[in-house]
Amino acid sequence: MTDIFEPEIVAFCCHYCAYTAADMAGSKRISYPPNVKIIRVPCTGKVDAIHIMKALEKGADGVYVAGCLEGDCHFKTGNLRAAQRVRRVKALLEEIGFDSRRVEMILMSAGMGERFAQTAREFTEKIRELGPNPIRSAIQEQARRAAG
Amino acid sequence: MNTRKAGSQTVLVIGGGVGGIRAALDLAESRHSVVLIDKSYAIGGLMTRLDRTFPTNNCDLCTVSPHLSESGRQLRIDLKPMTVVEQVEGVAGDFNVTVKTMPRYIDLDKCTACGECAEKFPDWVRFTPGLDPRAPTCMRYPQATPHAFSVDANKVTDFDALEGVCKVGAIVPDDREKTETLHVAAIVLATGAELFDPAVLDNFGAGKYPNVVTGLEYERIMSASGPTLGQLVRPSDGKRPARVGWIQCVGSRGINRADVPYCSSVCCMYALKEAVVTKERFAEEIETCIFYMDMRTFGKDYERYLTRAVDEYGVRIVRCRPHSVVEEPETGNLSITFATDDDARHKTEVFDMVVLSTGFRIPESSVALANRLGIDLNEHGFAQTSGFAPVATSRPGIFVCGVSESPKDIPETMIQASAAAAMAGAQIYLDENEIEEEEFFPPEQDVSGMPPRVGVFVCDCGSNIGGVITVSRLVEKVRSFPCVAYTEAVGYGCSKESMNRMEALILEHGLNRVVIGGCSPRTHETKFQDMLRRCGLNKYLVEIVNIRDQDTWVHMDRPEDATHKAMKMLEMGVYGVCRAHPLVEHSLPMNKNVLVVGGGVAGMNAALLLAGQGLRVYLVERESRLGGIARNVRATLEGDDVGRYMSDLTAKVQAHQKIQVLLQSIIVDHKGMPGRFTTGIQTGPRMHYMQIEHGVTILATGALAHRPGQYLLGEDDRVLTQLDMDAKIEDDPESVRGMDQVIMIQCVGSREPRNPNCSRICCQSAIKNALRMKALNPEMQIYILNRDIRTYGFQEDYYREARKQGVQFIRYEPDRRPDVRATENGLVVDAYDDILGCRLEISADAVVLSTGLIADDETTEELSVLFHLPRSDDGYFLEDHVKLRPTDMSVRGFFLAGTAHAPKTIRESITQGQSAAGRALTMLAKQWINLGAAVAKVDGAKCSACLICVRACPYNVPFINAEGYSEIDPAKCHGCGICAADCPARAIQLMQYEDDQILAKLDGLFERMN
């Protein structure tokens, strides 16, 4: 494989801010890497640690949770809870020797199309540098062995 | 009422700014038909051009834009953009209004806002600037309503070419101006105002120096989607300014040529906001300085905003009115020369940018419109209303709200809009027995237990999607996904033709799940949900995959990657929708009774309006008589007789058959859900207990007249409050006439650490009393010691009149408060005069303290516990959204009116009383309470009652029930899912976003990858 590594990234975006910001980036035609796939949630407060862990387990190279700016949460404090949860997940990942930089919490308002795109670019670049998710490589290895 | 004859059921709303939209939505939700017209080609008005709004500094567009798209969608609203009123005939209840619609040259039903026409012929077509990256004033406003282009026929040179690019055939080259006559029962005027153009002034350099901008232009420069993409740079050289200065009252509060005498009410706050946001968002070290005459931060919690701006953000405020702005031609810098009260010498400071705070102006076109409507305007060109009928114009049946009535900010516009809607709706007789209009959807088929048969329909949206990826190729790939029974490319999926085709295909192939590959669910989900319902499928069985906004629009330059991503996104959608199941939207019958707590002016107005609509109202008052604090007021600033008004109002309330007045009554318990509450009351001298069943609750418990023990109040009977003086002038005019010298002290017990907010009403009551005292004894010397004079709006006229009559206004600073002493010869007040720079000793026959209002902390605390309602720090009830929902409370079914919300005048309390009634009617018009479906559900078997959800919920909904597990009332759940994410036992699932749906999407994404 001589191709440059194209990471697969999952972005959990809240309906009211980050998802709208992604639409804004669209309507303003601001491009960002196609590696990022969005899963819409009503509020980042809905994003469970298990969702993040499962995404990594299934093979995501990076996961970020994108919610409203502080004080802007449609559900008062969902974004802050999400941030707290992301911190917990990161600590947990560190404990098991997994690079916690693969998981981030990001805040933006609905109008920040530019920021959405920039975040996607920066995060993708960072994950590209970190290389493939070791779990995914292991799964692929296993699959190869099973096949061979 | 005789106006309530069967006839027109429709209300005409003129003007589609936030006020008009709110009024139209309220009316539609109250089961009235509405025609909403706007002269522009999209609704939205001024607010959609703002960057962020005070006091939260949020971008509130995400809050207002659902309102906008809501009004496009509402079945009862007939939206007519590019339409103006020609003529109005008839009387209230039976108007014939001739309206003229300009040609748009676009068929609104066909246009999908794909943008092909704008792409090819950018100069010929118009769209709301939001989506238009070229427009110099573009705004972050992705939901233009109507969501369609319009053609500027003057610029089109070749209509055939234009028709050629439109794939859906929406271009109508022979579109003509149309005139029609509308039969309406009432009219709501909400045309707003323009902002003053300071270029007509020659002293501030607007339009001459590039770095002099208006407040709104500065707002655009700061905006993330503005012309500079959110970079704060000055127009002359694109450099970030290091020093920005604001000049207040440009064109307002003046007597010179081009000035208007009134205060525009909003500029102090917006200048502060702009300065704070400059510091917050850009750089702390940018110096910001506001030159002002009086800092008018009189709204709810606005004074705190001022304090924060100055103390925390370091915004400098300088009291003075600069004479002029002069440009240094070589640098583009601007120098402002000014003199302050405490220093007579002129000073000059240099700024990189100067922002002119311009206020509202009624345009000529509104004056002409008023003539056509046959309504009176006041001397400033705003719609004339009377003191106790704040939203009624001079012509019965025509109501007014927003800036058309007087300068005001967004929350006050919202309050007035709901009031105007309620008053207009009251012109219409609605038959209570009228069967609720059913939307005609066939019965839903039961798909549970059936294996998923997914239909995938992919739009090309013209070249928006189809120009980047080959939709037919994508469709082929999708066919191989599990559970996919049918796929097809559908062109413009949202067009009528495509929808018809998809409906036929769903039935033909027995599809029970649908995935749409198209644009954003934010704008189009409802449309496709309705399509499913027409096919007898539950609306939660559709998944919209946003391959336009989040794929082809952003990866135009890499079609291969875009195709791959679209495939992945669709696969996620298919996997997700397979796990979707039909959801029932809960509903319960609505109880139509109303509980109004508080029998003051706001509560009584709300009660009367609702009882007039045939609803039963329980009016609970803790005192032994109705009237509240307004009973102690004799006259308003405008000279209206409050006493007579109050006795009329009280008599009407007491005589009304539908109103049960419960005096000496207190609330003791409360339970139930919005639309079905039960409240226990102890009533009468014997505290008899009774229970009331009601659907909504209006809180109008008022505030207290403040009487702080300062300045000898309560010790010396020559020291009075403004309220005491108000009564004395009326009841004992002789003793007032005998006074030679009177001193008033403002902000007593307000704007200080213990009560940091402004009481709003005191400046006008001081001026009111001063003018009345001057009328009794023109020789009387009156001194008003003040920190700022906050006579907002037209109150400014009376401030000017008071100065003209010789009332002396002396400024004091909080660190040099006046002092009041009682001597044998009378009272003596020591005050420091900034202008003279020395202490003054003034003797006085009376000292009148402007003590204002203070929250009724005990009452609001008690009720907030009983009803689970939030309060602000200073003890007032807290509304659901300070900007857009000032009358609604965070618990559905609770509405707020009068001084329980914040200090306000009688007129403002009446408005909010009517507003609360209007908001309540939007709920009471429904026969059923729809509780929605996206709510959290607890699996009792898994729950271990650990209380985590109880603590996590931002709305305190979960509780541990008698069976010992957590229960979430679907009526109260807001659907955020925080509890579901926090539950360690995974006992809670958020419907529509269940864990297995989310995990299935991940499976779809990683399916072929591993």
Angle between helices B18-29 and B410-425 (to 10 degrees): 40
SS3 category, B357: strand
Instruction: Output the CA torsion sign for B446, B452, B453, B459.
Output: positive
Tokens, residue B247? 């000049």
d(CA B716, CA B844): 13
Neighbours of B165 (CB within 10 A): 17
How many residues are present in chain A? 148
Tell me the per-residue pLDDT of B267-300, one tens digit each, with 9 for 90 and over: 999 999 999 989 987 777 899 999 999 999 999 9
d(CA A41, CA B547): 17
A110·B230 Cβ contact <8 A:
no
Rg of chain B over all Cα atoms, to the nearest angstrom: 31
Contact partners, residue B371, CB within 8 Å, separation at least 6 = none
Q: Return the beta strands (E) in B700-791 as ranges.
A: 703-705, 719-721, 741-745, 781-786
d(CA A79, CA B889): 22
Say what the pLDDT of residue B137 is.
Answer: 25
Average pLDDT of the residues in A115-122:
96
Say what the pLDDT of residue B48 is.
Answer: 63
B46 pLDDT tier (thresholds 50, 70, 90): low
- The residue among B744, B780, B819, B882 whose CA lies nearest residue B269 is B882
Say what the pLDDT of residue B480 is.
Answer: 93
CB B129 within 8 A of CB B138: yes
Say what the pLDDT of residue B65 is.
Answer: 45
d(CA B780, CA B844): 11
CA A103, A106, A109 angle in degrees (round to 5)?
160
CB A47 within 8 A of CB A82: yes
Rg of chain A over all Cα atoms, to the nearest angstrom: 16
CA B217, B222, B224 angle in degrees (round to 5)?
120
Average pLDDT of the residues in B107-128:
77
Peptide bond into B589 cis (omega under 30): no
Chain A hits for B520, CB-CB cut-off 8 Å, are: 23, 26
d(CA B25, CA A100): 48
ipTM: 0.96
- The residue among B760, B741, B732, B734 whose CA lies nearest residue B848 is B741
- The residue among A69, A57, A59 whose CA lies nearest residue A37 is A59
B429 or B140, higher pLDDT: B429
Q: Return the beta strands (E) in B877-967 as ranges.
A: 879-881, 885-889, 894-896, 928-930, 936-938, 959-960, 966-967
d(CA B212, CA A82): 43
Supply the mean pLDDT for chain B. Answer: 89
d(CA B676, CA B672): 6
pLDDT at B132 over 50: no
Written as one letter, the residue type at B398 is I
Interface test with A, best of B1002, B1003, B1005, B1008 (most A CBs within 10 A): B1002
Tokens, residue A63? 């996961």
Q: Return the beta strands (E) in B905-998 as ranges.
A: 928-930, 936-938, 959-960, 966-967, 988-990
SS3 category, A116: helix
Average pLDDT of the residues in A97-108:
95
Strand partners, B871: B877
pLDDT at A1 over 60: no
pLDDT at B33 over 60: yes
CB B587 within 8 A of CB A63: no
Residue environment code for A2-27, b if the CB has 16+ CB neighbours within 10 A, otherwise e: eeeebbbbbbbbbbbbbbbbbbbbbb
Chain B hits for A49, CB-CB cut-off 8 Å, are: 981
d(CA B821, CA B121): 78
d(CA B45, CA B128): 11
d(CA B101, CA B966): 57
Place of tokens 């809670």: B988
Question: Which of B52-56, B165-169, B956-960 comes out lowest in average pLDDT?
Answer: B52-56
d(CA B906, CA B244): 39
A59·B1010 Cβ contact <8 A:
yes
Judged by a CB distance cut-off of 8 A, whether residue A100 touches chain B is: no
CB B522 within 8 A of CB B70: no
DSSP labels for B537-565?
A: --GGGEEEE-TIIIIITT-TT-HHHHHHH
pLDDT at B4 over 70: no
Tokens, residue B644? 């007579």
SS3 category, B178: strand
Chain A hits for B522, CB-CB cut-off 8 Å, are: 15, 19-20, 23
Chain B hits for A59, CB-CB cut-off 8 Å, are: 1006, 1009-1010
**B110 Ramachandran zone, left/alpha/beta (phi>0; psi -120 to 50):** alpha
B114 vs B81, B167, B467, B493, CA distance in Å?
19, 9, 12, 12
B278 vs A73, B6, B310, CA distance in Å?
22, 56, 13
Chain B hits for A15, CB-CB cut-off 8 Å, are: 522
Question: Which of A15-24, B172-181, B432-441, B745-754 comes out lowest in average pLDDT?
Answer: B432-441
Q: What domains, with CATH codes, occur in chain B?
A: 1-101+177-193+362-431 (3.50.50.60), 103-176 (3.30.70), 195-361 (3.50.50.60), 454-578 (3.40.50), 589-702+856-929 (3.50.50.60), 705-854 (3.50.50.60), 935-990 (3.30.70.20)
Judged by a CB distance cut-off of 8 A, whether residue A71 touches chain B is: yes
Say what the pLDDT of residue B796 is.
Answer: 97
Say what the pLDDT of residue B542 is.
Answer: 97
Q: Return the beta strands (E) in B906-956 as ranges.
A: 928-930, 936-938
Say what the pLDDT of residue B834 is.
Answer: 80
Tokens, residue B178? 């149309």
Facing A59 at nearest CB: one of B550, B561, B1006: B1006
Tokens, residue B498? 């495509």
Written as one letter, the residue type at B592 is K
d(CA B912, CA B886): 9
d(CA B958, CA B938): 9
SS3 category, B29: helix
Tell me the per-residue pLDDT of B595-614, one tens digit each, with 9 for 90 and over: 999 999 999 999 999 999 99
Contact partners, residue B554, CB within 8 Å, separation at least 6 = A25, A26, A29, A30, A31, A32, A34, A117
Say what the pLDDT of residue B883 is.
Answer: 80
Say what the pLDDT of residue B145 is.
Answer: 63
Say what the pLDDT of residue B1008 is.
Answer: 62
Instruction: Output the CA torsion sign for B649, B652, B655, B659.
Output: negative
d(CA B475, CA B457): 8
A10·B558 Cβ contact <8 A:
no
Average pLDDT of the residues in B711-726:
95
B153 or B210, higher pLDDT: B210
pLDDT at B28 over 90: no
Let me know if A70 is exposed, middle or buried by CB neighbors in 10 A (0-12, 13-18, 19+): exposed
A111·B546 Cβ contact <8 A:
no
SS3 category, B283: coil
SS3 category, B83: strand
Place of tokens 């009304």: B656
B520·A23 Cβ contact <8 A:
yes
H-type helices in B777-905, by residue range?
Answer: 795-804, 857-867
A45·B1009 Cβ contact <8 A:
no
CB B400 within 8 A of CB B190: yes
Chain B residues 309-328 with CB within 8 Å of chain A = none
Q: What domains, with CATH codes, occur in chain A?
A: 9-147 (3.40.50)
CB B950 within 8 A of CB B979: no
Say what the pLDDT of residue A148 is.
Answer: 64
Percentage of residues in chain B having pLDDT higher than 90: 70
Tokens, residue B211? 């770095």
Strand partners, B250: B358
Average pLDDT of the residues in B109-120:
78
**B289 Ramachandran zone, left/alpha/beta (phi>0; psi -120 to 50):** beta
Backbone angles phi, psi at B668, to 5 degrees: -120, -30
d(CA B200, CA B714): 53
DSSP labels for B766-803?
A: HHHHHHHHHHH-TT-EEEEEES-----TTHHHHHHHHH
Judged by a CB distance cut-off of 8 A, whether residue B975 touches chain A is: yes
Place of tokens 């098991």: A96
DSSP labels for B464-483?
A: HHHTTS-HHHHHHHHTTSTT
CA B606 centroid distance within chain: 20
Tell me the per-residue pLDDT of B64-84, one tens digit each, with 9 for 90 and over: 444 444 444 456 788 888 999
Percentage of residues in chain B having pLDDT higher than 70: 92
Facing B558 at nearest CB: one of A34, A81, A136: A34
Tell me the per-residue pLDDT of B474-520, one tens digit each, with 9 for 90 and over: 999 999 999 999 999 998 887 777 888 999 999 999 999 999 999 88
Chain A hits for B562, CB-CB cut-off 8 Å, are: 34
